[in-house]
Amino acid sequence: MDKVVVTIARQYGSGGKTIGTMLAKEMGVPVYNREILKLASEDSGINETLFNQVDEKLKQTTLFGIMRREYRGELIPPESDDFLSNQNLFNYQAKVIKGLAETESCVIIGRCADYILRDYPNVVSVFIHAPEDYCRIQAIERGSQNPRDVDRFIQKTDKRRAEYYRYYTGHVWNDARNYDLCLNSERLGFEGCVRAIRDYIRIRFEERNGES
């Protein structure tokens, strides 16, 4: 297969973003995360600031408690009153993600990319997780949080990610059935996770194609 896309969802502190970056470097392909917001802004003509307002990293709002709007793929036209709605901002991000999967090999971190690309045969979806103690240590070592607040921050961040995912996909974020691979970064280490993903790609695509 010419183009392979790896999507990575991750618990905070599990090192998923680092693993994705390492994987992209080994594969010699680009990695996308927040860059997708800029690309969606350029494609739609909508200010990038608006995309940031519904980003999964922002503080929880009443958005998730109102109703669930499962992604269907339709773009809302500019003349509609809902053109700047949260749903349409997500739709444009999804359009960008699909465009990337159709044109190049890459690694995409977060953004519900596994769900958006669930029917694409060239996609490998990965969920990176780790025990709470390990995530806590990683968060403290990287200096992202005060040790006194790190537990609550990790819980709130993962809760937001789960609610964001459920709101736009109708599925459970950390359900293993959503992914091809679920990897424990404490058990494997970052390099081990990268190697496991590379081995999966080789077995699924390269060896199978060689047998056919």
pLDDT at 58: 44
Task: Report the predicted TM-score, pTM, of the whole model to 2 decimal places.
Answer: 0.88
How is residue 87 written in tokens? Answer: 């749903």
Share of the chain above pLDDT 70, in %: 86
Which residues face 181 on adjacent strands?
Answer: 126
Q: Is 63 exposed, middle or buried (CB count within 10 Å of its CB: 0-12, 13-18, 19+)?
A: middle
Strands 5-10 and 106-109, bridge-based pairing = parallel
CATH number reported for the structural domain that contains residue 100 in this entry: 3.40.50.300
Poorest-confidence range of 37-41, 71-75, 117-121, 204-208? 71-75
pLDDT at 66: 44
Rounded Cα distance, 101 and 106, in Å: 8
Rounded Cα distance, 134 and 149, in Å: 15
The closest of 33, 112, 40 to 70, measured between CA atoms, is 112
Q: Which residue has the higher pLDDT, 82 or 159?
A: 159
pLDDT at 55: 62
Are 88 and 75 spatial neighbours (Cβ–Cβ below 8 Å)?
A: yes
Mean pLDDT of 19-37: 97
Q: In the predicted model, what is the mean pLDDT of the chain?
A: 88
b or e along 128-153 (b: 16 or more beta carbons within 10 Å of the residue's beta carbon)? bbbeeebbbbbbeeeeebeeeebeeb
Q: Which residue has the higher pLDDT, 82 or 93?
A: 93
Residue-range definition of the domain harbouring residue 198: 5-211
Mean pLDDT of 129-137: 95
Query: Over 70: is that where the pLDDT of 35 sits?
Result: yes
All residues at 6 or more sequence positions from 97 whose CB lies less than 8 Å from its CB, including other chains:
36, 108, 111, 113, 116, 117
pLDDT at 8: 98
pLDDT at 71: 60
pLDDT at 57: 42
Q: How many domains is the chain built from? A: 1
The closest of 8, 56, 60, 38 to 196, measured between CA atoms, is 8
